[in-house]
Amino acid sequence: MNDLYPLKFKPIFKEKIWGGDKIKTVFGMDYSPLPNCGEAWVLSGYGEEVSEVTNGFLAENQLDELIEVYMGDLVGEAVYEKYGNKFPLLIKILNSSDWLSIQVHPDDKLAESRHNDLGKTEMWYIADAEPGAELISGFSREMTPELYLSNLSNGRLKEIMNYEKVKKGDVYFIPAGRVHALGPGLLLFEIQQTSDLTYRIYDFDRVDDKGNPRQLHTEQALDALDFAQHDSYRTLYEPAFNKTVPVVESTYFNTSLIHFGMPVVKDYSGIDSFVILQCAEGKCTIEYNGGSESLQAGE
């Protein structure tokens, strides 16, 4: 068996009613013939949307095939023991030119009982934000199911949402159960559990090309929502140059930022896990025993 090496993958592009063009204009990704791209799934083992390797002798193999062959040597023994051939994370780039629906994701327990699936805890790293860009994360006041339903039925849901002004470099951790929505003018990286379970609460009265409103999941969302109100929703971290800065530590993933202008040496041999490196800006080269791979912004 040949040695493993840093693997690169082909993005899977998704047209969205709220999608924009920055995945092409900022990151240079060609999503033609789609008219827009709201989501680029840059690393996925979800359902039928499985990423394909683009480099080295494993090119054209799919991620699930590689896990089946390499098992813990690829993803880590503990990860393989827990998830088997299912890759546990889904990595996306999102670009919004309009508001996404206000939504919530179920946790593992609820997702398992209802859908025989994983829940969806996620985080956002803002790669670019137009002036005045906003997102929704959580409630703006102490909430109860009764008060929430009253505002929802009276068309006043937006009044109890917590709006956040967003800038480049901001991070938001969105645990399962937290109500959220992205506003227009945002380009971001999304790291999440391998799940696509979404309960849509409100969609700004939009209709599809046939004039039909999008489906809402009012009853399902009620059991999934965390009604707690928090003092702060943005994840705070202290940027540093030529240093690894931890940002999010969770049950499902740990993320760090490395802003560097000189060679950085990393030894991952003692880590019982896969490691994902994603270039947020600029470009770099990964040198390893046996060769090197370039990494452009977005890859």
Q: Where are the alpha helices (DSSP H) in 36-129?
A: 63-70, 72-75, 77-83, 108-115
Whole-model pTM over 0.85:
yes
Reported as a single tens digit per residue, the pLDDT across 243-292 is 999 999 999 999 999 999 999 999 998 999 999 999 999 999 999 998 99
Closest CA to 189 of 292, 39, 34, 60: 39
Q: How confident is the model at residue 213 (pLDDT cuts 50, 70, 90)?
A: confident
Please indicate whether residue 141 is annotated as part of the active site.
Answer: no
Q: Of 200, 206, 214, 234, which is the active-site residue?
A: 200
- Strand, coil or helix: what is 185? coil
Tell me the pairing of strands 134-139 and 180-182: antiparallel
Q: pLDDT (tens digit, 9 = 90+) per residue, 216-231? A: 999 999 999 999 999 8
